A and B are shown apart, each in its own frame.
Chain A
Amino acid sequence: MSTPAFVALARFGLGARPGDLDLVARDPRAWVSAQLTRPGAMPRALSALGTGQQAAAEFTRIVRRGAAAVEQNIRQGARQAYVEEAGLRTQAQVESDQPVHERLVAFWSNHFTVSVQRPVILSLAGPFEREAIRPHVTGRFHDMLLAVARHSAMLVYLDQAQSIGPNSRIGMRRQRGLNENLAREILELHTLGVEGGYGQADVTAFANILTGWSIARAEDQNLGGFMFRPFVHEPGSKILLGRRFEENGEAEGIAALEMLARHPSTSRHIATKLARHFIADKPPPALVDRLAKAFRDSDGDLGHVTRLLVDSREAWETALTKVKTPNEFVVSALRACAPGFDAMRALGGLRSLGQSPFAAPSPAGWPDTADQWLAPESVMRRAEWAMALATRLGRDRDAQAVLDTALGPAARNETRTWFSRAASSTDALALVIASPEFQRR
């Protein structure tokens, strides 16, 4: 039977570490809420890493040395930076005392996906999450959107840094022009949603509005940081979603993002995604309505909206039917078994289960429904990984203790029965990790 403590740890956290079930049982709701009112500090594991601006500056210098240097960097320097940060980020999740906060970081990081599937952002994806996502997960949606749209990782990943207004001074001279990738994905994925009520003309207008949003490339100009380039900005007024934006340089984009952040379609899109992520693949419509209204009424206060979600009846009464992503599965298993963190092993597991950090297949991010994660091949892989973990722990870990830590009263009768009949303690331990009640949240 799922106790409120188990629900708190599974639905909103990253699973239980030894002792957590008892600790959280004192006041499960307060345990969750506390992590929404006191924003988490930067996890220690991540506190010494370099900034996105440093990484972008470094990459700019390498680009100056030519294509061969870029290739070399992508194979070595940038890949090392990625692997280091991916490992530390996973470690931060495994060791976190603020797992609810880490879940929100992962949720928003996925909402605003940048992916190392495009190797040019290998060294930028980690800094992006630390700088544009983490500080805002219980802050204002608008602030996060603005930070995202101005971060070098997003400007590169969705090609904005190179986009040029066709009638700008540079555009006229160089025969180069617009790239609408970022503008389209902000509308479709980040704010309004695909059915949010915009057309191709809006995409083009927004792309024109955003021209000039780029990255500084000269040593004496904030190298690697955000830079607005007036000479590539498309002149003239633009009409986005029926509203006219008079020519106003960088301020056009800021005003447009503000409008999009406040658009009713955005509130609905975000409310649906939050409820789907935390409650059920088919989110309860009444809850979505309440969250959307809270989003609008609070001017996109994400702390407020998330607290409403946590305080909802649905959060505590809906069955735990979501299937953990491979990332949540691996991290929660490592929290339960506490094997001593080994970054390369953890990353190897995530890769073989199909979810390397910062490597979503597209700007839409990782899927968030069970049908996408519960294919036959995935279920076999997860069982194989559980066995590999149990084998590695060997006799160092008492299977019964892990059962009590990870599932406690939530362990079903059949799991307990077959657990007791397992041929070895390794099989028993792997069975706990591979059990449906451990894989659901």
Chain B
Amino acid sequence: MSLTRRSTLRLLATTLTSAAVPRVVLAAAPTERRLVLIILRGALDGLAAVPPFFDPAYRQLRTTLGPGEPGSADGALDLDGGFALHPSLRAFHAMYKQGDAAIIHAVATPYRERSHFDAQDLLENGTLRARGATDGWLNRALGLMPRSDTRVGLAVGQTVPLVMRGTVPVGSWAAQTMPELNRDFLSLLSQVYKSDTAFDVAFTEGMRAHAMNDEVLGDEKSMGGNARGAQAIRATTSAIGKLLASADGPRVAALDIGGWDTHSAQNARLKQMLQALDDGLTGLRESLGAVWRQSVVVVATEFGRTAQQNGTNGTDHGTGSVVLLAGGAVAGGKVLGHWPGLAADKLHQGRDLAPTTDMRAVFKTLLLAHVGLPRDGIERAVFPDSRDVRALDDLVKA
């Protein structure tokens, strides 16, 4: 048998007394529900993703932007006779029709300025202010679960997004591109990192994550390594779906996709980006397999974009956008939320889709009704100041 990293780590675990190298513990996860948060960084234009063709102001605001009406060539995909879906979201549309996907329109976080970076910070820290907390709401939610030896949270990519950062250790996954390290060297490193806390913690978690990932993915761990764009996203979601599906794997994952800041050439750019997102969702559904039934994938963005297209066939920073939900546990086949209308006097500050649903209501509902966390804990630790934010009815299947 060749010495793979997996077996290497097992060997290490038995030969080193160091606590720096964890044992791969097989333990029951604290929940069987799966939750995946996909953050679209750069601000998705919700009016292009889910165009409201029924609103008489829509076409006046969007003279050249967005897909054609359902039925036209390359036109949008009809949802409910009113809203439609961007044609690049074909797989998501099929999920919607099967009752496995839903949309909440006119959603925003409590943030009302227009900086991407502050808006993302607030979306992830779960408070009412940018830099209102140094940890993320998803990590704090993990803290409400029964203690477990497994890493329930999974950060996708080389860095841990703020939403997943905090006191609860989380696993991580990123496509493998370089040769594996030999066990002698790993044990040297564990010694040399001992006295530098930040390196020690990161290395220990990194070893643990690689062991877990190898256990589940075996030789597939390098997939996505050299893929670009859509291919890379699909490969990534396929890998993390497998990790989430495994018995002692993670249950809650966060990943992000950049490239949504469409100030110009929006039609071409969104066509590509939404296709990549759609492929990513397909990859998740396929790799989650049977546990798709117990899964919710929530796709959110920091804010929406101006209702009126700008002067350069794009849109500028706005407020209300959409949240997309997919997964077998979603009570799907509907567009939720209260539609504020796009008439000039209905727009937020005369320019943006007015938000009528607080994004925290969506997250809160998923933590309550899907993951099964207690309300008081959510309102105390996960989303402080959210007592007045009502959970949404009928978002997940009973």
Would you list 20 pairs from A and B whose C-beta atoms are within 8 A, ordered by A residue?
A180-B310, A200-B349, A203-B114, A323-B198, A353-B158, A362-B116, A374-B198, A376-B160, A376-B209, A377-B172, A380-B203, A383-B189, A383-B203, A388-B178, A418-B192, A427-B184, A427-B188, A431-B188, A434-B189, A436-B192
CA distance A374 to B279 in the complex (A): 30
Other-chain contact of A176, B177, B178, B210, B312 (Cβ < 8 Å): B312
Q: Which residues of B contact A364 (CB under 8 A)?
A: 116-117
- Cβ–Cβ < 8 Å partners of B158 in chain A: 353-354, 375, 377-378, 381
Residues of B at under 8 Å CB distance from A? Answer: 41-42, 63, 113-118, 130, 155, 157-160, 165, 172-174, 177-182, 184-185, 188-189, 191-196, 198-199, 202-210, 258-259, 261, 263-264, 310-312, 314, 316-317, 349
A380-B210, A424-B184 are known; give 16 further A-B pairs, CB within 8 A: A162-B264, A162-B311, A177-B310, A178-B311, A179-B264, A188-B117, A362-B42, A375-B172, A377-B159, A377-B174, A377-B206, A383-B185, A383-B203, A384-B178, A387-B178, A427-B188
How many angstroms between the C-alpha atoms of A333 and B173 in the bound complex? 26
The reply on A231 being an interface residue by CB < 8 A is: no
The distance from the CB of B15 to the nearest CB of chain A, in whole angstroms, is 14
Closest-by-CB residue of A relative to B317 is A184
Q: How many residues of A contact B (CB 8 A)?
A: 60
A351 to chain B, nearest CB (A): 8
Known contacts: A387-B185, A427-B184. The answer to whether A436 contacts B196 by CB under 8 A is yes
| A377 with B173, Cβ < 8 A, contacts A164-B311, A176-B312 known | yes
**In the bound complex, how far is the Cα of B360 from the Cα of A233, in angstroms?**
42
Kindly identify which residue among A163, A179, A362, A421 contacts B117, using a CB–CB cutoff of 8 Å: A362
Contacting pair B172 A117 (CB below 8 A): no
Q: Verify B191–A414 contact, CB threshold 8 A.
A: yes
> How many angstroms from the CA of A423 to the CA of B174 in the assembled complex?
29
Whether the pair B193, A436 counts as a contact (CB closer than 8 A) is yes
Q: Which residues of B contact A381 (CB under 8 A)?
A: 158, 174, 178
The residue among A117, A375, A430, A431 with the most chain B CB atoms within 10 A of its own CB is A375
Neighbouring A residues of B180 by C-beta, 8 Å: 384
| Residues in chain A near residue B203, CB distance under 8 A | 376, 379-380, 383
Q: Are B188 and A421 in contact (CB under 8 A)?
A: yes
Question: Knowing A370-B198, A414-B192 touch, does A159 contact B314 (C-beta < 8 A)?
Answer: yes
- Give min CB distance, B303 to chain A, whole Å: 13
Are A379 and B199 touching (Cβ within 8 A)?
A: yes
Given contacts A181-B316, A422-B188, contact A376 B206 (CB under 8 A): yes
Say yes or no: B205 contacts A376, CB within 8 Å: yes
Interface membership of A171, Cβ < 8 A: yes
Query: Can you list, as one digit per residue, whether each of A361-402 has a CB less than 8 Å from chain B (1) or not (0)?
Result: 110100000111111111111011101100100000000000
Q: Please give, as numbers and ranges, the residues of chain B lying within 8 Å of A380 by CB-CB distance.
A: 181, 203, 206-207, 209-210
Query: Which among A194, A385, A391 has the greatest number of chain B C-beta atoms within 10 A?
Result: A194
Chain A interface mostly: helix
A415 interface residue per 8 A CB criterion: yes
B258 in complex: contacting residue of A117, A377, A430, CB < 8 Å: A117
Q: Which residues does chain A contribute within 8 Å of B263, judged by CB atoms?
A: 158-159, 179, 181
Report the minimum CB–CB distance from A70 to chain B (whole Å): 10
Q: Measured between alpha carbons, how far is A190 from B52 in the docked complex, in Å?
A: 37
Q: Which residues of B contact A374 (CB under 8 A)?
A: 198-199, 202
Q: Is A44's CB within 8 Å of the partner chain B?
A: no
Interface assignment of A166: CB less than 8 Å from any CB of chain B: yes
Cα of A373 to Cα of B261 in the assembled complex, Å: 24
A21 to B: closest C-beta gap in Å: 21
A338 to B379, CA, bound (A): 56
Chain A residues with CB under 8 A of B210? 380
- Known contacts A159-B312, A379-B202, A414-B192, A175 near B179 by CB under 8 Å: no
Q: Which residues of A contact B185 (CB under 8 A)?
A: 383, 387, 422-423, 427, 430-431
Nearest CB of chain A from residue B365's CB, rounded to whole Å: 29
A380–B173 Cα gap in the complex (Å)? 11
Do A352 and B189 contact each other (CB < 8 Å), given the known contacts A203-B114, A374-B199? no
Q: In the complex the two chains form, is A171's CB within 8 Å of B311's CB?
A: yes
Q: How far is the CA of A391 from the CA of B173 in the complex (A)?
A: 25
CB atoms of A435 and B184 under 8 A apart: no
Residue numbers in B under 8 Å from A180 (CB-CB): 310, 316-317
Q: With contacts A415-B192, A431-B188 known, is A387 near B179, CB below 8 A? A: yes
Smallest Cβ-Cβ distance to A211: which chain B residue: B311
Q: How many Å from the CB of B150 to the closest CB on chain A?
A: 15
Q: Which residues of A contact B311 (CB under 8 A)?
A: 162-164, 166, 171, 176-179
Q: What 3 A-B pairs are tightest by C-beta distance, nearest first?
A: A177-B311, A376-B206, A376-B205
Shortest CB distance B382–A (Å): 21
